[in-house]
């Protein structure tokens, strides 16, 4: 049981936190702008490298430099929306979806051009010892930080969406954009806040993922499908549902490789990523609106 908690449950919650933070942006962009943003993973990568660049200048804990990555991701998202996505909003959605693939390639090529193609790690002054609790539980400090940070972000996001005027406007636009526009809501302001929140959380998610392993140009792209699975599982257009979906996908992936029967892993760790695809496909067939009854794809 101790090994299960130390090596499976806590890492599952950590990767679930990454999926949850990334899925929020995917869910909100689809709910408000009505298209699947396939460049979201590479936006996450760009934000991560912003933190990595700041870490090369400031010799402090990389977590303190995450705001640099958030700013880079936000500016990039707003710029891309203005240049590429806004002119296509009145055209069929497929045009914007295809353009998002092009944006993804632009982001990835920009990362390779500025930082190279090799893996890079955050300098931490050596291997950090695990956090020991009750002389039994040994967990990564970064994993604990990821789960705690995601929980705090979830609370602030829930407060923002439910208690602030901008948050309520975002929910109104997500539910019925035409009616919201007729009611006099500033839809462009809602769009800007959608990109700001989605990009900022993507940068945080990418930073946690890179600090746990390494940063490379395909970091966000490799995480994109599990994040889409989390967004669909929680219900498209439901940010809190996307967070719940992220944890469910993370738990399903990691716990699928535990030796539930016998002494061997139920599913080889090499194939655990496929668990997210299976869940996504099954859910699209059985319950396409997701667990929290979001928008239909």
Q: What percent of the chain has pLDDT over 90?
A: 61
Answer yes or no: is 157 within a domain. yes
What per-residue confidence (pLDDT) applies to 159? Answer: 95
Sign, CA dihedral 203-207-208-210, equals positive
What per-residue confidence (pLDDT) applies to 274? Answer: 84
The three-class DSSP label of residue 263 is coil
Provide the number of structural domains found in the chain: 1
What mean pLDDT is predicted for residues 245-253?
A: 92
Beta-carbon-side half-sphere exposure of residue 241 (alpha carbons within 13 Å):
21
User: Is pLDDT larger for residue 181 or for residue 256?
Assistant: 256
Answer yes or no: is 234 within a domain. yes
What mean pLDDT is predicted for residues 205-232?
A: 94
Look at 89-93, 255-259, 265-269 and tell me which has the smallest mean pLDDT: 265-269
Q: Domain of 235? A: 2-114+136-286
Answer yes or no: is 120 within a domain. no
Quote the CA–CA distance of 28 and 161 in Å, as a whole number.
11
Going by C-alpha positions, the residue among 207, 211, 216, 209 that lies closest to residue 66 is 207
User: Is pLDDT larger for residue 70 or for residue 261?
Assistant: 70
pLDDT for 112-168, tens place per residue? 999 999 999 886 544 466 666 666 667 788 899 999 999 999 999 999 999 999 999
Chain centre distance of CA 259: 28
The three-class DSSP label of residue 293 is coil
The most confident of 3-17, 50-64, 253-267, by mean pLDDT = 50-64
User: Is pLDDT larger for residue 292 or for residue 153?
Assistant: 153
Task: Judge whether residue 295 has pLDDT over 80.
Answer: no
Answer yes or no: is 155 within a domain. yes
Beta-carbon-side half-sphere exposure of residue 59 (alpha carbons within 13 Å):
1
Answer yes or no: is 131 within a domain. no
Q: Exposed, middle or buried, 264 (CB in 10 Å: 0-12/13-18/19+)? A: exposed
Q: What CATH number does residue 87 fall under?
A: 1.10.3470
**Across the chain, which distance is largest between two alpha carbons, in Å?**
62
Could you tell me the two tokens for 17?
């936190």
Quote the CA–CA distance of 185 and 166 in Å, as a whole number.
10
Indicate the average pLDDT of the chain: 88
Sign, CA dihedral 40-281-246-191, equals positive
Specify whether the CB–CB gap between 223 and 41 falls below 8 A. Answer: yes
What per-residue confidence (pLDDT) applies to 126? Answer: 44
The three-class DSSP label of residue 147 is helix
Answer yes or no: is 128 within a domain. no
Quote the CA–CA distance of 22 and 201 in Å, as a whole number.
6
Answer yes or no: is 41 within a domain. yes
The three-class DSSP label of residue 132 is strand
Answer yes or no: is 292 within a domain. no
Name every residue whose Cβ is closer than 8 Å to that of residue 180 and which is 6 or more positions away in sequence: 169, 172, 173, 187, 190
């Amino acid at each position: 049981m101790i090994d299960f908690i130390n090596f499976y449950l806590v890492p599952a919650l950590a990767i679930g936190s990454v999926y949850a933070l990334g899925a929020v942006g995917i869910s909100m962009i689809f709910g408000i702008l009505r298209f699947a943003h396939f460049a979201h993973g590479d936006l996450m990568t760009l934000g991560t490298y912003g933190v990595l660049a700041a870490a090369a200048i400031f010799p402090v804990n990389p977590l303190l430099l995450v705001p640099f990555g958030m700013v880079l991701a936000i500016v990039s998202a707003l710029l891309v929306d203005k240049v590429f996505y806004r002119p296509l909003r009145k055209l069929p959605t497929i045009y914007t979806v295809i353009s998002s693939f092009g944006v993804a390639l632009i982001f990835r090529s920009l990362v390779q051009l500025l930082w190279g193609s090799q893996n890079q790690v955050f300098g931490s002054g050596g291997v950090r010892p695990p956090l020991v609790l009750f002389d039994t539980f040994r967990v990564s400090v970064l994993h604990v930080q990821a789960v705690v940070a995601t929980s705090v972000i979830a609370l602030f996001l829930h407060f923002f969406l439910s208690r602030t005027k901008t948050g309520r406007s975002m929910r109104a636009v997500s539910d019925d954009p035409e009616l919201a526009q007729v009611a006099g809501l500033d839809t462009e302001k809602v769009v800007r806040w959608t990109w700001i929140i989605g990009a900022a959380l993507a940068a945080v998610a990418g930073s946690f993922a890179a600090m746990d392993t390494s940063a490379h140009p395909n970091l966000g792209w490799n995480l994109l499908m599990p994040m889409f699975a989390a967004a669909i599982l929680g219900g498209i257009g439901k940010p809190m549902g996307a967070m719940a979906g992220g944890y469910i996908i993370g738990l399903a992936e990691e716990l699928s490789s535990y030796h539930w029967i016998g002494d061997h892993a139920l599913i080889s760790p090499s194939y655990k990523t496929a668990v997210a695809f299976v869940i996504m496909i099954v859910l699209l067939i059985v319950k396409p609106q997701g667990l929290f009854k979001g928008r239909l794809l």
